Amino acid sequence: MRKKHTGQPLDHLFKKLNALFSNGTTLEELNDLHNKALSFTPRSDYEVKDKTHLLQQINDLYNFIAEGV
């Protein structure tokens, strides 16, 4: 059985990104999330892929916001 609070390391950042997107996002919150994703050090191939996908989603959101302005 898994110990408490031992999910995938980037899951909470993905959840936060989804919450930001649905609730409206400030650039400060998005920059903070981007910095946290960049500072994450992957420990496996799966985490490398997760980090890449997370950064891609953040960049896509940046582009979406830029087009809307």
pTM check: above 0.85 = no
Distance CA 51, CA 9 (A): 10
d(CA 7, CA 23): 24
Report the alpha-carbon distance of residue 37 to residue 55 in Å, rounded: 7
Instruction: Using DSSP, state whether 32 is helix, strand or coil.
Output: helix
- Could you read off the pLDDT of 17-68 as tens digits, one per residue? 888 767 766 788 889 989 999 999 998 898 899 999 999 999 998 888 888 7
Which residue in 47, 61, 52, 55 sits closest to 19, CA to CA?
Answer: 61
The whole-angstrom separation of Cα 7 and Cα 48 is: 16
